[in-house]
Amino acid sequence: MEQLGAPEKNGKDWKEQLAARFPDAPHIVSLEGSVFEKMLGAEWALKNPKLFLFVTAEDLEAIQAGGLDHERLRVSIVRVLSHPSSLEACPPEEAALRAAYRDIHLHGEPDFWRKLEGWVDAAISEPGKLADLCVLALSLWPGDPKTDAGAWKLWFLAGYAFVQLGDAKTASGFLEQSIALKADALAPLNELAALRLQEGRREEGSALLERVFQLEPENLNALCNAAGLRLELRKFDEARAFIERARAVEPEDEQVQQLSAMLARMSGPQAN
């Protein structure tokens, strides 16, 4: 097996750039003549003789010892393909690397897309797992996930997960991409509106809420977000109007009740 080791330190080499993104996986090995060729079969390797694999130090030790099981390989590949940078534009050489990763991950997984929906549903309450799973699915998308409208929900769910993880910058990119693919999708519009308001970008947040209202005038999430913004601005009459509209939609909603209590505190006779 050809061992290429760490990339050259020229500051621009694509291998070095990838190594910087994944410091726990600093080794590159060639596919041809490696244990991967044995695992995937000679025919597959012959079609991809010059592609490389980025592996962890632990993986490299296993390779040098004469073997690497399928599960270890899959874990290593998932680590790279579930990182948000796997969706960024990249040089041709890195694109070839990613293509090899996709093929290897999907090798022996004919039911991947059938299983995906269940995996995502099961991870909704675990933002870290949900983020990794959605990015992995987008990385393995059969076409270009940035132009295929069918990918909008995965972009949204990834954005939602990164919001829960407190990574607003990454979340924004995913939510914006979801909206670009499906301009009338209420969930990403609401999520991005709430994020913009939290960031203090009120004009952007308000504009997004208006888009929601144009699509669904009595959308509960948008009504609550609009009420919260008016409370923040101390525009109590406007806040009250939005809260009443939200109460008409869902009288027992916890957020509506909290907004009502907040309005009473802020606008009552004891308020400063």
Distance of CA 262 to the CA centre of its chain: 33
Q: Which two tokens stand for residue 86?
A: 């796997």
Please give the average per-residue pLDDT across 14-18, as a whole number.
74
**pTM for the whole thing?**
0.84
**Distance from the Cα of residue 219 to its chain's centroid:** 25
- The whole-angstrom separation of Cα 16 and Cα 89 is 16
Q: Higher pLDDT residue, 221 or 101?
A: 221
Dump pLDDT digits (tens) for 220-270: 999 999 999 999 999 999 999 999 999 999 999 999 999 999 999 998 765
Which stretch of DSSP H or E encloses residue 52? Answer: strand 52-55
| Structure confidence by residue, pLDDT tens digits, 52-81 | 788 888 888 887 787 777 788 888 888 889
| Spatial distance between the Cα atoms of 6 and 28, rounded to a whole number of angstroms | 7
Angle formed by the axes of helices 127-139 and 112-122, nearest 10°:
160
Q: Are 211 and 221 in contact (CB under 8 A)?
A: no
Range in 13-22, 155-164, 185-194 with the lowest mean pLDDT: 13-22
Region 182-203: what's the mean pLDDT?
96
